[in-house]
Structure 1
């Protein structure tokens, strides 16, 4: 018998060379909504991009990649 299960989502933010794992606040939310939710606590997320999901350790892993640019 084949049973389908939904994998939990995990979000990773790299800040100051350290990876921070963020839990999924609400599985029904879009990934963008989760990014917006955490941007209140992590201001760098206001300009972050969302990587393509990867599957690792029976979770769906999303990386929030901050974009640090120069003015000019």
Structure 2
């Protein structure tokens, strides 16, 4: 018998040079809804873009990347 399981989603972002891993508040939410949810805590997410998904260590990882506050 074949059994399927959904891989958990993980959302990654950088703040002040540190990688931050954000848990999935609700697997039914779209990636954009999750980003909007965390934008209340991390205002830089209001201008971020989503990169991914990438499957790593049995998780589906999305990275929120922003160009605000970076030099270059």
Instruction: Specify if TM > 0.5.
Output: yes
2:57 corresponds to 1:57: yes
Question: 4+ residue stretches of structure 1 with deviation over 2 A?
Answer: none
Q: How is 1:1-72 mapped onto 2 (pairs within 5 angstroms)?
A: 1-68=1-68
**CA distances 1:20-64 after superposition (whole Å, capped 9, x unpaired):** 000000000000000000000000000000002000111000000
Q: Unpaired segments of 5 or more residues in structure 2?
A: none
TM-score when scaled to structure 1? 0.90
Residue correspondences, number: 69
TM-score when scaled to structure 2? 0.90
Q: Unpaired segments of 5 or more residues in structure 1?
A: none
